[in-house]
Amino acid sequence: DAGITQSPRHKVTETGTPVTLRCHQTENHRYMYWYRQDPGHGLRLIHYSYGVKDTDKGEVSDGYSVSRSKTEDFLLTLESATSSQTSVYFCAISASGGRQPQHFGDGTRLSIL
Amino acid sequence: QQPVQSPQAVILREGEDAVINCSSSKALYSVHWYRQKHGEAPVFLMILLKGGEQKGHEKISASFNEKKQQSSLYLTASQLSYSGTYFCGTERNQAGTALIFGKGTTLSVSS
């Protein structure tokens, strides 16, 4: 199994608070992705990174920011969480983008009250 | 643009076959297939690159028709373990840096 660790695995927080989710990989893969998964919507791309300090937006990036200061870590931050951001968040990694498999972490279940 | 999967749901008995389709409105360079069991992370099944080569994984195979901009996943002699939601993913852009996924097809196999 690909070495991907997401933390925390579960979090409950209140509207308006900042939240940071962490994705850590031990595969030295160049590409890292953050998705959210909601019923009826499948997997939607939030942001992704194609190298240290190189990031780009996905389809649902509003309200989220990311940072990647080391190859192994990719952080997703909700600056001021809203109830609409309640979701399951998955991190994924890939050796070389869309033409190589993506391997997913176990997910973070985030509830914003 | 998000690829369209059909059908949305399939109910099978063990041993029956199923086909899941994935269509895109734009040119495809590759198609990925993933399976997600309830409460778990998606797991990579296979990737098909432009060229139409059919790939296989256990009794699951797939085809890719770039002219029709579609891919099909074939599940043969289904087993209980095939139950889950299947997602196709296509490249977001020509650079091939990220995927965009369909909404998924839920497959339920019963004994």
Contact with chain A for residue B50, Cβ under 8 A: no
- Quick one: pLDDT at residue A19? 97
Q: How many domains does chain A have?
A: 1
- Quick one: pLDDT at residue B57? 67
Q: Is the pLDDT of residue A2 over 90?
A: no
Under the banding of pLDDT at 50, 70 and 90, the label for residue A5 is very high
Whether A45 and B103 lie within 8 Å, measured CB to CB: no
Which residues are CB-contacts of A10 (< 8 A; sequence separation ≥ 6)? A108, A109, A110
Whether B99 and A45 lie within 8 Å, measured CB to CB: yes
Contact indicator for B92, A32 with CB cutoff of 8 Å: no
Dist. CA A19–CA A29, nearest whole Å: 25
The shortest C-alpha distance from A29 to chain B (Å) reads 13
Contact with chain A for residue B94, Cβ under 8 A: no
On average, the pLDDT of chain B sits at: 90
Residue in B92, B95, B101 nearest the CB of A42: B101
Residue A101, exposed/middle/buried by CB under 10 A (0-12, 13-18, 19+)?
middle
When computed from its CA atoms, the radius of gyration of chain A, rounded to whole angstroms, is: 13
- Kindly report whether the peptide bond that precedes residue B7 is cis, defined as omega within 30 degrees of 0: yes
Once rounded to an integer, what is the mean pLDDT over residues A34-62? Answer: 95
Number of Cβ pairs < 8 A linking chain A and chain B:
68
Dist. CA B68–CA A113, nearest whole Å: 45
Contacts of B97 in chain A (CB under 8 A): 31, 48, 50, 56, 97-98
Once rounded to an integer, what is the mean pLDDT over residues A42-52? Answer: 95
CATH of the domain at B83: 2.60.40.10
- Quick one: pLDDT at residue B29? 84
Cα distances (angstroms) measured from residue B92 to each of A75, A98, A110, B19, B51 = 22, 8, 26, 24, 19
Contacts of A55 in chain B (CB under 8 A): none
Contacts of A44 in chain B (CB under 8 A): 101
Tell me the per-residue pLDDT of A88-99, one tens digit each, with 9 for 90 and over.
999 999 998 777
Contact with chain A for residue B32, Cβ under 8 A: yes
Q: How many domains does chain B have?
A: 1
Contacts of A97 in chain B (CB under 8 A): 95-98
Once rounded to an integer, what is the mean pLDDT over residues B39-53? Answer: 86
Contact indicator for B64, B52 with CB cutoff of 8 Å: yes
Strands A103-104 and A19-25: unpaired
Contact with chain A for residue B84, Cβ under 8 A: no
Contact indicator for B29, A97 with CB cutoff of 8 Å: no
Give the nearest chain B residue to A41 (CA atoms). B103
Its domain, for residue A48, covers 4-112
- Quick one: pLDDT at residue A54? 94
- Quick one: pLDDT at residue A7? 97
On average, the pLDDT of chain A sits at: 95
CATH of the domain at A18: 2.60.40.10
- Quick one: pLDDT at residue B18? 96
Once rounded to an integer, what is the mean pLDDT over residues B9-14? Answer: 96
Tell me the per-residue pLDDT of A7-21, one tens digit each, with 9 for 90 and over.
999 999 999 999 999
Q: Is the pLDDT of residue A49 over 70?
A: yes
Tell me the per-residue pLDDT of A63-88, one tens digit each, with 9 for 90 and over.
999 999 999 999 999 999 999 999 99
Its domain, for residue B27, covers 4-110
